[in-house]
Structures are given as C-alpha cells and as structure tokens.
C-alpha cells in the first residue's frame, strides 16, 4: 500500500511539473529562450486584452485618426502592405517601412536601427513622432483617464481607475509579446508533421548555404545590425544604426528582418524599396552586391534562375497563415461599444 502511494505521488508530481512547464514554455523546443518573458494568456488575460484594445484604438494619435494597427495590420503580419514608408496623422509620411510585428520577445533591441532598448519603450517612438501619431504620452494617458470605457478597465486590473504612463506602455507590450509566429509549414517539418517537397528541399539547402548567416533559423533573423548594400536614398538620407551609436562602421547598418511571413509583409527593406521576393533576391545576387560582399570578406551569392525559384519556394514555407489570420490578434469587438 505504502509503495503504491509513493508511485502515485511521484506520478502526480511528474504530471504537475510537465503541465507547469508546458503552460510556461509555449514556443517550440527548437526556438531559443526569449529575451522578454511572455505574458501568460490566462493570468495576464486582462492586460493582454487591454493592450490589444489600445493597439487598435486611434485615441493614441493626436487627432484620433491613426492607431498602431494603421501601419501594423494583422492581415499583413502586422506590417503595412503596399506602403513603402509608414503613414501618420495629416497624411504625413515617416522615414521607414513599418516592420512586421511577431516574435518580438526574441528581439532585444527594437526598430530598424535598434534605437529602442526595451519592448516597453517601443511605443513611445511612433506615439511621439510628428510624422506618425504626433501625440505625447502625457496627453494619451489624460485622454484614456477621461474615458469611462478605459477607466473601468484600468480599475479592473490595477484597482485604481487612473492609468499612468508606465502602465500604458506595459499594456501595449503585453499584447505585442503575444504575437508569436511558429506555425508555418517549415515549423511542421521541424516537428515531423509535414515534409518539404523536392523544390522546397532544394530551396532550403540553398537558403542554408547562402542566407542563414544573417537570416538565422528558426527565427530567420540573427536580429543583429548588418549592411544590406543598398545605395543610400538621397531623399531619406537614412544612415541606419549610425544615428544611434555614432560609430562610423555602423553607417547604413539596419536590423536584419525575419523572413517569416514574407508573402504578407511586402514591400521589403527599411525603406520598402522592393515589392517582390525576386527583386530582393536579384539584389543580393547582383554583380554590384557580390563585389560589396567580396570587399567585406563575405561569400558571394550566385544562383541560377531555377535556383532562385527553388529558394522562393522554400521561403514560402515560412509563411504562417494561422498567425496572420488568427482572430485572437485582430480588431477587438469591444472597441465598437466604447
């Protein structure tokens, strides 16, 4: 009897531990540990829901016309398809292409130039940029604290109906940290559920030989700052990482974007200058870029036309349709009753 009880106790501890681990670690086993702790869908559900409402509410902009989702649409993997540069209040145009938002928990520094050192602080940049939302944190908090809809939600979470700036920023990051994308065909192949076809497999080999150094699996970015060898746009005059570090070698370096969800997130690059994957691949395989690779001790990328097709075929396997069309990330209906 004693023996049976002991076995039962060990079994219960094992099940509870396994369950606990599963409830905390929700990303695939082949993913590295995230840089930020990801909010718990159950315990933090009110904060995530509040952050989602804020993300979709144009109240965050000066004239109440632009929300975060205006430039980060869920149907574009939270990028802005067909728009080279971000749009702001009064038809103003920003400096850079609105990046796709997913797997942010694995990105220590945010923005194309790494200007933002913590995900909590990221929202401040578009919020207070004159060519984006044109607001101040102080005024947004004032507007929210006047609003009965938000006051009751603030009270529900904090036991006080007055929101402060830090809480607002953390609510937005809570929601954005839940934007996780790892349900593509590639992921299913990694889990042994599906298989690549011959063309995809060939594309995968080409990818590993030529692209994986910067667009490292499984996130498909090393999230470092690298040169893309695109000529400086003389109108935008965007020097990238140099603006932040003032270090000469950082000139024209930009954060390596993830290649997940490319079908939904065009145009590509920091200034949205390429509309198609073929334009992008042609840039990296061009004679000019290969000369730049050589000067910088990088391996040239030489692909035949057929190989380019195979590479694209593989890249399409890292589209995550489930993520892009997931209702839990979309416009929250509660806002309609605000």
Partner 1 sequence: MTQQLRLAILFDGQSAELNKSYPLHEESDSIKISSLKFYLTNIEILDKDGQVVETCPDALISLEDSSHFYLCQFRDWKASNRLRFTLGVDSLKNMQGAIEGPLDPINGMYWSWQSGYINFKFEASSPIIPTKKNKLQLHLGGYQYPFRSDRAIEVSLSHKMTVFFELRDFIDAIDLKTDHTEMSPSKESVILLNKAQKSFKSL
Q: Which of 118, 299, 321, 338 binds partner 1 (CB under 8 A)?
A: 118
Q: At what angle do helices 45-56 and 165-177 cross, to 10 degrees?
A: 100
Q: What is the DSSP letter of 67?
A: -
- CB of 138 or CB of 322, closer to partner 1: 138
Query: Least distance in Å: CB of 68 to partner 1?
Result: 15
- CB of 131 or CB of 222, closer to partner 1: 131
Query: Least distance in Å: CB of 335 to partner 1?
Result: 23
Query: Least distance in Å: CB of 119 to partner 1?
Result: 7
Q: Which of 35, 40, 115, 230 binds partner 1 (CB under 8 A)?
A: 115
Per CB under 8 A, which region of 109-117, 196-204, 212-220, 227-235 contacts partner 1?
Answer: 109-117
Q: Which of 68, 77, 79, 141 binds partner 1 (CB under 8 A)?
A: 141
Separation between Cα atoms, residue 133 and residue 225, nearest integer Å: 26
Q: Which of 79, 127, 259, 301 binds partner 1 (CB under 8 A)?
A: 127
With binding defined as CB under 8 A, does residue 128 bind partner 1?
A: yes
Task: Please state whether 59 falls in left (phi above 0), alpha (psi between -120 and 50) or beta.
Answer: alpha
Q: Are 324 and 261 in contact (CB under 8 A)?
A: yes
Residue in 57, 31, 331, 10 with CA at minimum distance from that of residue 181: 31
Per-residue interface string for the shown chain with partner 1, residues 243-272, x marking contact by CB under 8 A: -x-x--------------------------
- CB of 96 or CB of 153, closer to partner 1: 96
- CB of 128 or CB of 334, closer to partner 1: 128
Pair type for strands 253-255 and 225-227: antiparallel
- CB of 246 or CB of 337, closer to partner 1: 246
Radius of gyration of the chain (CA): 22
Q: Please give the size of the binding site for partner 1, defined by CB under 8 A.
A: 24
Per CB under 8 A, which region of 79-87, 135-143, 281-289, 294-302 contacts partner 1?
Answer: 135-143
Separation between Cα atoms, residue 140 and residue 191, nearest integer Å: 44
Residue in 151, 134, 311, 296 with CA at minimum distance from that of residue 226: 296
Query: Least distance in Å: CB of 322 to partner 1?
Result: 29
Question: Cβ neighbours of residue 252 under 8 Å, at least 6 residues apart?
Answer: 227, 228, 230, 232, 239, 240, 242
Residue in 56, 126, 122, 142 with CA at minimum distance from that of residue 88: 126
Q: Which of 117, 276, 296, 306 binds partner 1 (CB under 8 A)?
A: 117
- CB of 114 or CB of 332, closer to partner 1: 114
Task: Please state whether 79 falls in left (phi above 0), alpha (psi between -120 and 50) or beta.
Answer: beta
Element (H, E) at 66: none
Residue in 83, 25, 26, 32 with CA at minimum distance from that of residue 220: 32
- CB of 59 or CB of 312, closer to partner 1: 59
- CB of 124 or CB of 189, closer to partner 1: 124
Residues 143-182 that bind partner 1 (CB under 8 A): 164-167, 169-170, 173
Which positions touch partner 1 (CB under 8 A)? 115-121, 124-125, 127-129, 137-138, 141, 164-167, 169-170, 173, 244, 246
């Amino acid at each position: 009897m004693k023996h049976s009880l002991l076995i039962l106790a060990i079994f219960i501890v094992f099940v509870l531990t396994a369950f606990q681990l599963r409830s905390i670690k929700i990303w695939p086993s082949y993913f590295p540990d995230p840089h930020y702790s990801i909010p718990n869908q159950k315990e933090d559900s009110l904060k995530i829901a509040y952050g989602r409402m804020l993300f979709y509410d144009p109240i965050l902009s000066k004239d109440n016309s632009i929300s975060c989702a205006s430039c980060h649409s869920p149907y574009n993997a939270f990028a802005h398809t067909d728009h080279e540069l971000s749009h702001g209040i009064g038809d103003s145009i920003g400096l850079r292409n609105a990046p796709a938002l997913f797997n942010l928990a694995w990105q220590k520094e945010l923005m194309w130039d790494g200007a933002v050192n913590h995900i909590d602080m990221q929202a401040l940049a578009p919020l207070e940029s004159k060519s984006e939302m044109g607001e101040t944190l102080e005024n947004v908090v004032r507007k929210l604290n006047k609003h009965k809809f938000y006051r009751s939600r603030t009270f529900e979470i904090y036991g006080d109906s007055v929101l402060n700036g830090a809480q607002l920023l953390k609510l937005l990051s809570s929601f954005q940290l839940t934007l996780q994308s790892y349900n593509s065909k590639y992921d299913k192949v990694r889990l042994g559920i599906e298989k690549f076809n011959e063309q995809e497999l060939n594309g995968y080999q080409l990818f590993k030989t030529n692209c994986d150094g910067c667009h490292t699996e499984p996130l498909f970015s090393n999230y470092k700052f690298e040169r893309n060898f695109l000529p400086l746009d003389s109108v935008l005059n965007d020097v990238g990482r140099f603006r932040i570090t003032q270090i000469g070698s950082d000139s024209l370096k930009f954060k390596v974007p993830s290649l997940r969800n490319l079908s939904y997130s065009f145009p590509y690059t920091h200034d949205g200058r390429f509309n198609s994957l073929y334009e992008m691949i042609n840039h990296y395989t061009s004679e000019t870029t290969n000369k730049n690779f050589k000067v910088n001790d990088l391996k040239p990328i030489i692909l035949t036309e057929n190989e380019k097709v195979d590479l694209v075929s593989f890249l399409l396997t890292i589209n995550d349709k489930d993520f892009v069309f997931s209702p839990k990330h979309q416009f929250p209906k509660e806002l309609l009753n605000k």
